[in-house]
Chains A and B, each alone.
Chain A
Amino acid sequence: MTVRVWVALFVALALVAAVALVTGPVPVALADVLAGLRGHAGNGAALVVHNIRLPRVALGLVVGAGLAMSGVALQATTRNPLAEPYLLGVSGGAAVGAVVATIAGASHPMAVELAAFAGAGIAVAAVVLVASASGAAAGSPALVMAGVVIGAFANAAILVLLAGAPSAMVRDALWWMMGSLSGADWRTVAWLAVVAIVAAGELLRAGREIDVLSLGDDAAAALGVEVERATRRVFLVAAILAAATVAAAGLVGFVGLVVPAIVRALGARSSREALLGAAVAGAALVVAADIVARVARAPAELPLGAVTALIGVPFFLARMRHAR
């Protein structure tokens, strides 16, 4: 990507974040926004910015960056431009965890997050085990197939779990599955940021390996990559990253699919460039989608996952049109 594209991406991100901070049901003066940013929660308006809007924007940034980076890594490793983080059973597993926690009546605010993360972790472990057990073809096709199967199983489990649940609980579960940043607080932002930074560091470190893996298994082996080990490690890190975002914000669809395609179209060639570009673009997309989710039908909120899909689909169609 050229310097101009990078500048444009960062400008877009800054603009979107700024608009997100000043937009909302409570009118907030610019001075109060700045006060809130600095942490001087002097008056109510500054408090709204510091305790509600800022963590919400921060959560959107990390969720978007994480999903997009996860998507870049998975698309390159599977050599499939339609691969996305939720393909690995992450979304299904997380949803099972969240539904179980909701039905069990967990009241602690972290309970649903932890249960979702645990569910995603179990699903990913199952995917890797199933793929390894299939023997020779422990490369990416086996992992993708295992992900689809475990995902289907998780969906069935959710339907069984929700079949007997009261309707309010079904609505809560559905709402959670459609993704939202409305539950953002600094604690969630903090733990998600830690996971995201560690995972992003590992993906960037493995950048050249991912480049080589994107050539295909035989070519990667010929160039000096331990194909199966490297593929599994990238999958695992990408899955953990996606699982953490799901635990924090539910299912935010399309970001992991469409943002990698956008940065490739913008000229990202190496995996490291694509990872960094996708982090910026993904962050901007999710925060922008959240603004739409908040204001489109205010005071009601639209599901974030639906908005990201509505924004993402035209992008994707435009890219397909230009793709040769």
Chain B
Amino acid sequence: MTQKIAIQVDDLTVAYNYKPVLWDIDLVIPEGVLMAIVGPNGAGKSTLIKAILGIIEPIAGSVAIYGEPYKKQRKLVAYVPQKGSVDWDFPTTALDVVMMGTYGSLGWIKRPGQKQTKAALEALEKVDMLSFKSRQISQLSGGQQQRIFLARALVQNASIYFMDEPFQGVDASTEIAIINILKELRKAGKTVVVVHHDLQTVPEYFDWVTFLNVKKIATGAVKDIFNDNNLTKTYGINYKVAVNK
């Protein structure tokens, strides 16, 4: 089976103040996988996503999205930052936040119109948040805020989705709703990359996994490489999770 390569990362090194947080990462992510990036705190999981998206300038290495640099492929990619990275007291509504997802396809200066509003409303519907469209975002619960962020990514109608800890601080029903949508995206042939913390749920939610701790430990299908050996290598302690059937 030859799958198309969605994302290829070569020799990527990122440093903050000359201290490497990602070291010489090589990574090939095939099209159509639902992949978890796992690793301890400070392993560089978020940094990896940010470096792929050009939000952080790497000191070495390159990234290709379907064979081209990210800058040429922006429209193929949607990004959900960590919920905590924005100020939810910002004066705006749920619908308006989702509309921001359409800004990329509009480019500079052009304003969103009816077409964009319609797309945003549809995305809100998909995450079951349509009745909250006019609500001020600070009045939403953590789970609802995360759904809004997901809707904002859906409205981009991308081929590749990057999500930074989408299950952080959300309730169980939202977690299930989100993972179901991600699985649907995979079914539609999209590639989804998720920074993930809960090791217990990896086999249930994902089919692909990358172990990361400054260096890449392993990457591949969950059924092949999600084992105690790799977990121990990544987390540095003798790690046993209840994943062995």
A and B associate in one complex: no
Contact residues of A with B, CB < 8 Å?
Answer: none
